[in-house]
Amino acid sequence: MAEYHVDWPWLLARPDVRGDEALRGVKEAGSAPDRERWLGVLSDAASGADPAAVERYAIGLAQASRYAESLTFWRLLVEHLPGTARVRLNMASCLMSAGRLDECAHVMEECARRCRDDDPAYPIVRRRLAELEGLRGQLGREQRLLEVRADAYRELAAQGRASLADLKELCRILATLAQQPGSGVTASEVAEVAERIHAQAPDDVGGLELLGMARILADDQDGTAEVLRRLERVAPDSPVLAAAREQVTDPGFRERSGELKRRWDDICRRASDGDPGAEDELRRELRSHPHVEQLGVGLLFAVYGRAADGRGDYDEARRLALELAAAPRAGHHTHFHVAQFLWNLGERDEARRQFGLALATSETEEDRETVRLAARTVGAQIGDPAGGVGG
């Protein structure tokens, strides 16, 4: 889909020479240390809890692409100044910059609902609502066109008539759609096409780049690292390699990753507590990120919890546990929890084998000792990590 750029200027409560200088400093900083120095100036000013200073700090964080932190402050400001259209407009600007258009629309609609006709911000609210509606309409049309093209390439592939170039274009289209809400395309589908391309032409650099992109989408960190190492050897000037390096060094990348993990933690917790909506949400996330152990184990706990509460059966939980353990990239976290689950079900031989695999896939001595302790606690004796030893 085409890149979009919507320039919504930040709205300030009043001029502030030092604060405005710091905002310009953040925006024009030539290096990360320089940017952080100016953010420090804004942070110090905000420590006095003056709402105008807090607004400037939130704007600075957004300019530095630290959107999650910025939104934390905008939410607090909305609670403190619920009738101030400027605050909601700035929060919407932050969401727009972060690419979170659905949330942006929600904030703008709430802003329009609360904003009186005689408010000086009213014309800005109406104009931005129209711009947002036009942008979403444009992106929606482009998405529908991509979906039609994807279906055509899928048909060629299903008939065995797709060339290597056709498969590459299908992979690129699917990767774009996988990042659009409501498209129905999952990261696993992108990965399947990328793996097919790579199997057909293992020495093709373009195919290797698509494989790296697919594994990044699937949050398959080990698989991504493997592809990037190969790209470093055969195509050190690869734009995919450069983009991956930029992501790793981007100060906002770890923040975005942390925010995603915290969201997954919350979904897993709510699903484990028996929230049916959370379990549905967890299943959707797992379809989009099938390689994330945290999500797979979280779903296992949720399904097992329902069975233990009499709201489900153990067969589904057992099937899920075995599928998780059999996955080619199943790691320590999965084997460790599946072992305990199967032991509780009375499937001792398979549980011992899973304890052995958990031991074999441990990365630290602390992990290994945790596995040994858990096995001793339930009475399992583990020997050969590859096959397990009965006890």
| DSSP string covering 161-179 | ---HHHHHHHHHHHHHHHT
> Residue 4 — very low, low, confident or very high, per pLDDT cuts 50/70/90?
low
The span from the first CA to the last CA of the chain, in angstroms, equals 58
Q: DSSP code of 106?
A: H
Q: Is the pLDDT of residue 72 over 80?
A: yes
Residue 3: predicted pLDDT: 54
Residue 256: predicted pLDDT: 57
User: How does pLDDT run across 108-122, given as a tens digit for each residue?
Assistant: 999 999 998 888 899
Pick from 259-268, 270-279, 334-343: least confident:
259-268
SS (H, E, C) 15-48: CCHHHHHHHHHHHHCCCHHHHHHHHHHHHHHHCC
| Distance, CA of 60 to CA of 54 (rounded, Å) | 10
pTM: 0.54
Q: Is the pLDDT of residue 81 over 80?
A: yes
Contact 352/390 with Cβ under 8 angstroms?
Answer: yes
Locate all alpha helices (DSSP H) within 218-292, ordered by sequence. 221-234, 239-249, 251-272, 276-288
Who's near 223: CB < 8 A, 6+ residues apart? 215, 291, 329
User: How does pLDDT run across 172-200, given as a tens digit for each residue?
Assistant: 999 988 877 667 788 889 999 999 999 99
| Distance, CA of 391 to CA of 370 (rounded, Å) | 19
Residues 311-336, mean pLDDT to the nearest whole number: 84
Mean pLDDT over the full length of the chain? 85
Q: Is the pLDDT of residue 385 over 50?
A: no
Residue 219: predicted pLDDT: 77
Q: Is the pLDDT of residue 389 over 50?
A: no
Structure tokens at 113: 């609902």
**CA triple 254-257-260, angle to 5 deg:** 150
Instruction: Among 12-16, 30-34, 242-246, name the most confident range.
Output: 12-16
> Residue 68 — very low, low, confident or very high, per pLDDT cuts 50/70/90?
confident
pLDDT: which is higher, 121 or 363: 121
Structure tokens at 148: 């039609």
Contact 172/153 with Cβ under 8 angstroms?
Answer: no
Q: Is the pLDDT of residue 310 over 50?
A: yes
| Distance, CA of 169 to CA of 253 (rounded, Å) | 27
User: How does pLDDT run across 249-261, given as a tens digit for each residue?
Assistant: 545 545 555 666 7
> Residue 220 — very low, low, confident or very high, per pLDDT cuts 50/70/90?
confident
Structure tokens at 269: 């917790």
